[in-house]
Every structure is written in structure tokens, then in C-alpha cells.
Structure 1
Amino acid sequence: MSKPRIPTTLHRRSRMPVWLSIGWRVGGVLALLALAVGVHYFDREGLRDTYDGDVSFLDIIYFTAISITTTGYGDIAPVTERARMFDALVVTPIRIFVVLLFVGTTYNFLLQRTWDKWRMAHIQRNLHDHYVVCGFGKTGSDAVDELIARGVSAQDIVVIDDNTDSLAKAEACGCTILQGDATRDSVLEDVKIDRARALIVSAGRDDTSILITLTARHLSKKVPISVTVKADDNETPARAAGATTVINPVSFAGLLLAGSCTGPHIADYMMDLASITGRIALGERTVKPEEIGKPLSQIATGMGMRIYRGGKPYSYWEDEAQTLQTGDVIVEIVPQGMAKARRTAVPDAVSPESGS
């Protein structure tokens, strides 16, 4: 799946307080008014006052104000070509600029914030069974691409990151985005983590990923959490923090490399299992009522490879897998067509205690 190219520019968040930003805009308007008043005053011979015939400094201020605000009562009017050209070529652009400046200020500091709050509240009300992705780096973006390829709507994916460029790429994919620190309770509460279908954590740093996992598990006891770690000794802390699945991409790559040395097709088969574009796929589901009491080898939906019972794994050749029980979680290999037909299903028996 090709991603749209996002134009990037150097930018930095403004540290200017709101009152100073408004002050600069007001100052700009006053400077433009002063310019127009000054030119009108030095060229006051080009103006005519139909009321008393005398154009005073107060008349200049009055005429400039009504000209820029497009009121124009007609009691003072330019009569020379120079005065009319100044009004046409200078006062008119000043008038347009002032209007746009005030409209922009009103939008930025009032309408936009009100609109953003309303829009966020509307999105939050509709967040149910969604996927939350913390970190939109290489791993996070690949995970989003795979979810979309598996049939998940991009609108059902919420991306949290503190990098504006990463969020722009996620938004271009159609995802809902939130700029913030996912280690904070308020940020995860904003994306309704307690109503999420799953959480993917790929923060780029193991300590940050583990802290996000700990925060998420504190807020939701049931949401499945998949987290990536780079160091082997961080896998145990990640599980202790509440991760349902812990993935070490470095170790996994090493396993593929080692396997490829003994068989050139092993790595290809593993990638076939993992990707939605392959011919077969791994599936996970709870045991069906009609399968209870049967061996794992006799399930009709695919090739049973393993069951999870009480959080412990049992492979198809072990005695425990010869009699399926209520609550067992089955891991099976299924044809890709069957995987696509149920790709949005989530195993309801998976819990933080089941492990991976």
C-alpha cells in the first residue's frame, strides 16, 4: 500500500503567549491606521469637508476610520487625483488586510477552539471498538497499514504521537490523530482507552513503551495491549506492566535469519503467515460449543496449532490439546480467504493474563 507523499517544512511551536499574539495584531492595525492618517494629513489639501470646509486633524482621523471600515458617509471626500489614487491603491488594501486580520484573530482564538472542542467531543462519543496506536514511527505506521489491509477502517484507528510530521502522515491515511504524551492518563482517557478494541504501543524507547503500557492497564483492565521492546531483558517488565503481547522485532529478525540458513523457504513462510497479503494466515479464536470434547486436530475451520488454557500454551501433540474445553483459545492456520472473512473479529477470550 503506497502512502501519499506529505510535504514537510521546518516548524517550531510558538512560545508566544496569547495576549502577546493579540497585542502584535492590534499593534499592526494601529500602525496601518497611523500610516493612513499621516498620508491623509500631509495631503489634506486633496480632501474636501462639505460640512464646514475645513479639514482638521480630527477630521483626518474621522475620515481615515470611516474609509477603512467602509462606512463612508460622504461628508469628507477626496477631490484630487493624488488623494483618490492613495485611497484606491493604499487605503483599500489596508482595509482588506484589517478585515482579514480581525476575522483571523476571531477564528484562531474563539471559533477554532470552540469548533475543535465540539469536534473532539463528537469524535469521542463515537469511539467504540477502535484501535489505539501509540507512536507512528516505522513500526507503528506499518502496523496501521496492516490493519487497514486487513479491512479495519482508518476512521477506527486513533494515532497518538507528539511529532506533528508523524501525525500529518497518519491523518493522510485517514486515521484520527491526537498530539500528546501517551504516558499521561488524560491523553489515554481522551481516546477512550476503556472502550478500545486493542492498543498497539511502539514508542521507540522501551522505558516509554512500558510506561504507556502501565498507564493503559491502569485505565483499562480488559483492553488487549501489544507492545514492542528492543531489549530482551525488557520483555518481562513489559508483561508485568500489563502487556498482553510483547514483541521483540530484533529477536524475531534473528530467528528468521537463523531459520533461513537451514531452509531458504522458512522465512518466506513466516512472512506469509504474518502478512494479510500471503496465501495463508494465523487465526485466533475461542473454542466453539460444538468443538468442546474434540481434539484440536479435528477442528473444521483450519489447522489447529496450539491452544491456550488458563494462560498456558499447549501444542497440538500434547495431551491437553486432545480434549478441547470451554474457554480454550485456539491458534490455527487458515486459508487467506477465510482470514479475510473474519479479519475484524477479536477473540473474546484473550485477556491480559493469557500471555503470548
Structure 2
Amino acid sequence: MERKPRLGSQIPLLRQKSPLSGWAQFGIRVGLLFALLAFIVAVHWIDRESFVDSVDGEISFADVIYFTMISATTTGYGDIVPVTEEARLFDALVVTPARIFFILILAGTAYTFVIKRTWDTYLMRRLQRTLSGHIVVAGYGTSGGEAVDELIARGEDPRKIVVIDQNPESIAKAERLGCIVLQADATRDETMEAVRLRQANTMIISAGRDDTSILICLTARHLCPKLHISLAVRAEDNEFPARAAGATTVINPTSFAGLLLAGSAHGAGIADYLADLASATGRVRLHEREIENFEIGKPLSEVAIGLGVRILRNNKAIGFWEEGAKKLETGDRIIEIIPGFAFPPCN
């Protein structure tokens, strides 16, 4: 038995991008207008005996075109008028609705091809002038979407997140979150320029295919040699090419899932704790920051905010048990474990 939707529920509708270009759609609208005008002119010409011309008393073909146009545009000078009931009914029941149809098409065309495009261009340029210190996310699939959700959960302003994707539905989802979106090919230089990548704080790449993600990374890296780029790959063999392409951090979701599974084999608590560290909603989480001036010279174990577990010094990782962790130095960045409810500002 067919199941009926509950009252008030919404049935999702299929959507597909129109195969027609903007100019083709414009041509169809103009064609409809001329076809309707031609039909009205033909009826008026066949029934021209039902009209009176107060100027010369004769209705020529030019008079018919003239009357049709001024009727359709609601001008009406009164020099040519319908005098029979049939002509007046035709004007009332056909020409008047056609007149409304003309106005709707003309207004819609003007909005689509003039007002909307001009307004969208203005908004894009305004956004481009103000974008700075933002996060660029290339690819809004499963991983990219979860990354954006996690960023927002960690307190990141969605207006400082720029999402690039070629899928209109993915773009619509990101836009509903309040993100700035761009439906474009992230492998192209002009796309990176449009999102002001040089002014960005970091970039996250998760295009769904490793080769596409690596190509996006190459494009971004040659434009921004110092930008922090995090890239997700699916195949372990692609981790090295991703780093060679310029990725600062390479994430393999499959490998991470394997780590959680392996940890759970020795107890559920290990897997739960790792999940907590990776999520903004966990009881604890990892936080990376540059040390404060008053922390210089102190051991890692005495950091001010959380529990220090690693030092990042001159592109080298130093564990809390190593000799280098006994004294923090200028320029050090530390990774610490903090309570999940704490959201210190990111440096």
C-alpha cells in the first residue's frame, strides 16, 4: 500500500540545472512576447471592422499594429477604439491578461539579466574587498561538510569561511549555514583570486578525489607559498604526492578510522578519548597556539591554559618527555589538551 506523506511534511523535489544558457532563455522570452503580439495583431486585423479610427475613419494594417502595441503597453490614446461586443470582449479577456503577462516577463527579464547580475557583482566585489584572515574550504562533500560544521562548532564565524564547490546543491547547503560560497572549479587560478586566497588564514581541501585535491593544492601553493594547507586523501599512497604538492598537513580519514579501531581493541576508553580530542563537542579537545611572552623559559608542563603535550619548534615536533620540552623558546607553538567547553582565541 502506498504510504501518504504526513500533513505538513515536505516532499523533496528533483532539481536540474537548465541546459539553456542565459541568452537562450532571454531569446525564448522575447520569442514568446513577439508570438503573442503576432496573435493579437492577427485577430485585430481579421476583426478590423469592429474598430473605429477617429482620425481618418479607416483601419489600416499599420493602425492595427499601432492599436495592438498601445493596448499591450496600457497606453491607450483613444483615437482607435473597439465598438463591437466581440472586439471589447477580446480586449478584456485576451489582451488584458496578455498585458499583465508582458509586464511580468519584462520585469522578470530585467531583474534576471540586469538588476540581479548587477547586484550580485556588487556583492561579490564588496566581499572580495573585505575578505581577510578567512578559511577557504575547497570541496563540500562529506569530509568538507563535516570540517565546516566542526569549525562552526569551535566558534568560527561562518562569514569567515569561504566554500568552493562545483555542485550547486552543496553550495546551497553551505550558503544556508551562512558561509560565503563560490560555485567554481578550485583548480583554476582565477577561482583562487576570486576568494582572495593570498589574504586567507588557512585552506582545507577535500575534493572527493585524491588527484583533484592534489591539483587544487598545487594551484593554491604556487599562488601562496606560505599558506597553511590541510588536505584529505583517501589512499595512503597519495600522502607523499600530497606533501610534495605543498600540503602542510595531510589527513587520511581511513587511517584515522583504523587508529580508532585499533585503540578500541585495547579498551573502549581509548577510542572515546581520541574521538573527544578530535571533536568540539567532546569533554576535552586539542588546541594549538603560539606561546605567550610570560611562558618563555618555562617547561612545557607549566603552560598557562591546558596540558601541554607537544612543542612545534622550527618545523620539528618535540614531545613532553624530551629534553627540549624543559624550556619554551620564543616562537614556539604548543599543542595542549584543554577542556571541551574552553574556546581560547586561535593564534
| Bucket of the pairwise TM-score, normalised by the shorter protein | over 0.9
Could you say if the C-alpha distance between residues 6 and 141 of structure 1 is closer, same or farther in structure 2, counting changes exceeding 3 Å? farther
Task: Name the SS for the 1:308 alignment partner.
Answer: strand
Matched letter for residue 217 of structure 1: R
The alpha-carbon deviation at position 8 of structure 1 amounts to 5.0
The alpha-carbon deviation at position 289 of structure 1 amounts to 2.2
- Which residue does 1:302 correspond to in 2? 306
Q: Percent identity?
A: 57
Give yes or no for contact 1:213–1:241 (8 Å, CA) kept in 2.
yes
Could you list the runs of 5+ residues in structure 1 that have no partner in the other structure?
347-356
The alpha-carbon deviation at position 58 of structure 1 amounts to 2.3
Give a deviation string over 1:79-133, Cα, whole Å, max 9, x none. 2222111111110111122222223223333332222221110011111111111
Give a deviation string over 1:145-202, Cα, whole Å, max 9, x none. 1111111111111100000011011111111110111111110110001111111100
Matched, 1:36 2:36: no
- TM score, norm. by length of structure 2: 0.92
Task: Name the SS for the 2:113 alignment partner.
Answer: helix
Could you say if the C-alpha distance between residues 192 and 15 of structure 1 is closer, same or farther in structure 2, counting changes exceeding 3 Å? same
Matched letter for residue 230 of structure 2: S
- TM score, norm. by length of structure 1: 0.90
The alpha-carbon deviation at position 221 of structure 1 amounts to 2.2
The alpha-carbon deviation at position 51 of structure 1 amounts to 2.1
- Which residue does 1:23 correspond to in 2? 27
- Which residue does 1:108 correspond to in 2? 112
Could you say if the C-alpha distance between residues 210 and 155 of structure 1 is closer, same or farther in structure 2, counting changes exceeding 3 Å? same
Matched, 1:223 2:224: no
Matched letter for residue 197 of structure 2: I
Equivalent position to 1:329, from 294, 319, 333: 333
Could you list the runs of 5+ residues in structure 2 that have no partner in the other structure?
1-9
- Which residue does 1:85 correspond to in 2? 89
Matched, 1:251 2:252: no
- Which residue does 1:71 correspond to in 2? 75
Aligned residues: 338
Task: Name the SS for the 2:265 alignment partner.
Answer: helix
Task: Name the SS for the 1:265 alignment partner.
Answer: helix
Matches within 5 A, 1:37-56: 37-56=41-60
Give yes or no for contact 1:8–1:165 (8 Å, CA) kept in 2.
no
Matched letter for residue 125 of structure 2: A
Matched letter for residue 286 of structure 1: E
Matched, 1:123 2:124: no
The alpha-carbon deviation at position 329 of structure 1 amounts to 1.4
Give yes or no for contact 2:295–2:304 (8 Å, CA) kept in 1.
no
Matched, 1:10 2:11: no
Moved more, 128-137 or 323-332: 323-332
CA separation in 1, counterparts of 2:41 and 2:304? Answer: 87
Give a deviation string over 1:65-91, Cα, whole Å, max 9, x none. 111111101011112222111111110
Matched, 1:238 2:239: no
Equivalent position to 2:288, from 284, 288, 307: 284
Give a deviation string over 1:304-345, Cα, whole Å, max 9, x none. 11111221111111111112222221111112233x1x1x41
Could you say if the C-alpha distance between residues 183 and 6 of structure 1 is closer, same or farther in structure 2, counting changes exceeding 3 Å? farther
CA separation in 2, counterparts of 1:220 and 1:6? Answer: 45
Matched letter for residue 200 of structure 2: A
Moved more, 329-338 or 64-73: 329-338
Equivalent position to 2:180, from 166, 176, 180: 176
Could you say if the C-alpha distance between residues 300 and 109 of structure 1 is closer, same or farther in structure 2, counting changes exceeding 3 Å? closer
- Report runs of 4+ in structure 1 exceeding 4 Å deviation: 5-8
Matched, 1:345 2:339: no
Matched letter for residue 201 of structure 2: R
- State the structure with bigger RCO (CA 8 A, min sep 6), 1 or 2: 1
**RMSD of the alignment, in Å?**
1.8
Give yes or no for contact 2:308–2:336 (8 Å, CA) kept in 1.
yes
Matched letter for residue 54 of structure 1: E
Give yes or no for contact 1:6–1:168 (8 Å, CA) kept in 2.
no
- Which residue does 2:170 correspond to in 1? 166
Give yes or no for contact 1:293–1:325 (8 Å, CA) kept in 2.
yes
